[in-house]
C-alpha cells in the first residue's frame, strides 16, 4: 500500500520520552517522511532514533530546550531545512505544566509552561509558515488536552483536573486559540492547521504499570496507536476537509471511519477499529460520569 508521507519532511517536538511524540515520529517515518526529532533529553532522543531506525529510516536528532528562548528553538526549523529540506509537517507535541493547586506554582514553573506550551509552538509556526505559504502546502498539528476546556460548574468537582489543571489547562487553552486563529489566517492557502486532544489517558510506558495495577480504569485509557492514527490523519488530510479543528482522537477516528494501524504501519490494531470505537466511547462516557470529579478526556 502507498505510504502517506512519502518524501515529506516532518519536525516533531517532545519526542524523547516514549510517548506520543516518539510514537508519532516512528509512524511518520514508517509512512515515508524524513523526520527530525527534538527534545531536551539527548539520551531520550537517541532511544527514539533507535526505534525509528527499526522501521528503516534515519531521523535527524536535534537536542533543544524549548523552555529557553535562547536554547536553540530560534534556529530549529533552519537546521531541519538545511539538512532535510523544507518542513512540510510540524507537530508541536512538547508540553509542560503538571497538576497542582493554583497557588502552589512558582514564577519559574509558570514561565516554563508558557514557553513550552505557547511561545515555542508560536515561534515554530512562524518559522515554517512562510515556506508553506510559498509552496501552498503544509500541515501543522498542535497537541493539546481536554483540561484546556472550561471545567463544568458550579458546583465544581471536588478533585481532579478542574482543581489542579489551571496552569497546564490554561496555557493549552491559549494554544487552542492560537491554533484556530492561525487556521483562520491561512485558510485557502493549502495549509492545514489543527489541534488534537487524547480521548482518554494515553497508554504510555509510564502508565502501563498503573493500568496493570488497577490504578487506571480499563475504560479510561487508549493505546498510543489510536492517538498516533488520529494525528497522522491530521498531518496528511486535505485542508479543505480537516482544518481549524480542536479534535479528540477516538471521536475523530470514528468520524473518519479510519482504520487504526500499528506504529510501523504494517498491521491493523485489534480491538480499536472503527466498528469498535462507538462501544468504547460509550463505555468511557459512562465511566467518567460515574466517577467523581472526572472530565471527559484525560492525558
pLDDT digits (tens, 9 = 90+) for 26-81: 999 999 999 999 999 999 999 999 999 999 999 999 999 999 999 999 999 999 99
Dist CA 14 CA 18 (whole Å): 10
Residue 245: CB partners within 8 Å, gap ≥ 6?
194, 195, 234, 252
Preceding omega of 154 cis (within 30 degrees of 0): yes
Burial of 270 (0-12, 13-18, 19+ CB in 10 A): exposed
- For the cut 60, the answer to whether the pLDDT of residue 129 exceeds it is yes
Give the start-to-end residue ranges of the domains of the chain: 9-290
C-alpha cell read off for 180: 484556530
**Is CATH 3.40.50.720 the right assignment for the domain spanning 9-290?**
yes
Dist CA 76 CA 238 (whole Å): 26
Q: How far is CA 205 from the centre of its chain?
A: 16
Do 17 and 93 meet the contact criterion of CB atoms below 8 Å apart? no
Q: How far is CA 58 from the centre of its chain?
A: 22
Burial of 273 (0-12, 13-18, 19+ CB in 10 A): middle
- For the cut 50, the answer to whether the pLDDT of residue 126 exceeds it is yes
The pLDDT value recorded for residue 56 is: 97
The candidate with the shortest Cα–Cα distance to 259, out of 273, 245, 249, is 273
Dist CA 44 CA 37 (whole Å): 10
The pLDDT value recorded for residue 43 is: 97
Dist CA 173 CA 73 (whole Å): 22
The pLDDT value recorded for residue 218 is: 81
C-alpha cell read off for 134: 510559498
Q: Which residues are the active-site residues?
A: 168
Strand partners for 191: 138
What mean pLDDT value characterizes the chain?
93
* Count of other CB atoms within 10 angstroms of residue 2: 6
What band does 162 get if pLDDT is binned at 50, 70 and 90? confident
Over the stretch 12-23, which tens digit does the pLDDT of each residue have?
999 999 999 999
Do 131 and 184 meet the contact criterion of CB atoms below 8 Å apart? no
Over the stretch 199-246, which tens digit does the pLDDT of each residue have?
988 988 778 777 777 777 888 899 999 999 999 999 999 999 999 999
What band does 192 get if pLDDT is binned at 50, 70 and 90? very high
C-alpha cell read off for 187: 485558510
Q: What is the dihedral of CA 89, 69, 23, 83, to 10 degrees?
A: 50
Chain position carrying cell 529510516: 57
Please give the helix or strand (H or E) that residue 169 lies within, else none. helix 166-186
Burial of 129 (0-12, 13-18, 19+ CB in 10 A): buried
Strands (E), 21-67: 34-38, 60-61
The pLDDT value recorded for residue 287 is: 86
The pLDDT value recorded for residue 288 is: 79
Burial of 175 (0-12, 13-18, 19+ CB in 10 A): buried
Sign, CA torsion 48/49/51/56: positive
Do 97 and 168 meet the contact criterion of CB atoms below 8 Å apart? yes
- For the cut 70, the answer to whether the pLDDT of residue 293 exceeds it is no
Amino acid at each position: 500500500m502507498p505510504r502517506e508521507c512519502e518524501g515529506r519532511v516532518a519536525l516533531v517536538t517532545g519526542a524523547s520520552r516514549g510517548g506520543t511524540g516518539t510514537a508519532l515520529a516512528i509512524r511518520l517515518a514508517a509512512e515515508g517522511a524524513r523526520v527530525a526529532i527534538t527534545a531536551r533529553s539527548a539520551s531520550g532522543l537517541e532511544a527514539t532514533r533507535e526505534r525509528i531506525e527499526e522501521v528503516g529510516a534515519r531521523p535527524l536528532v536535534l537536542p533543544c530546550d524549548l523552555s529557553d528562548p535562547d536554547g536553540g528553538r530560534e534556529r530549529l526549523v533552519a537546521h531541519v531545512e538545511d539538512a532535510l529540506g523544507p518542513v512540510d509537517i510540524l507537530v508541536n507535541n512538547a508540553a509542560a505544566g503538571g497538576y497542582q493547586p493554583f497557588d502552589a506554582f512558582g514564577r519559574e514553573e509558570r514561565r516554563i509552561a508558557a514557553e513550552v506550551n505557547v511561545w515555542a509552538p508560536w515561534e515554530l509556526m512562524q518559522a515554517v509558515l512562510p515556506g508553506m505559504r510559498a509552496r501552498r502546502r503544509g500541515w501543522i498539528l498542535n497537541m493539546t488536552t481536554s483540561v484546556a476546556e472550561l471545567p463544568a460548574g458550579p458546583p465544581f468537582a471536588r478533585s481532579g483536573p478542574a482543581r489542579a489543571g489551571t496552569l497546564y489547562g490554561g496555557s493549552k487553552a491559549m494554544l487552542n486559540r492560537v491554533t484556530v486563529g492561525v487556521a483562520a489566517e491561512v485558510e485557502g492557502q493549502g495549509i492545514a492547521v489543527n489541534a488534537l486532544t487524547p480521548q482518554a489517558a494515553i497508554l504510555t510506558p509510564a502508565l502501563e504499570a498503573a493500568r496493570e495495577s488497577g490504578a487506571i480504569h480499563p475504560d479510561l485509557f487508549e493505546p498510543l496507536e489510536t492517538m498516533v492514527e488520529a494525528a497522522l490523519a491530521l498531518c496528511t488530510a486535505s485542508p479543505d476537509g480537516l482544518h481549524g479543528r480542536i479534535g479528540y482522537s477516538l471521536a475523530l477516528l470514528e468520524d473518519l471511519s479510519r482504520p487504526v494501524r500499528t506504529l510501523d504501519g504494517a498491521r491493523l490494531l485489534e480491538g480499536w477499529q472503527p466498528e469498535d470505537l462507538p462501544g468504547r466511547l460509550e463505555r468511557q462516557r459512562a465511566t467518567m460520569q460515574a466517577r467523581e470529579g472526572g472530565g471527559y478526556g484525560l492525558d
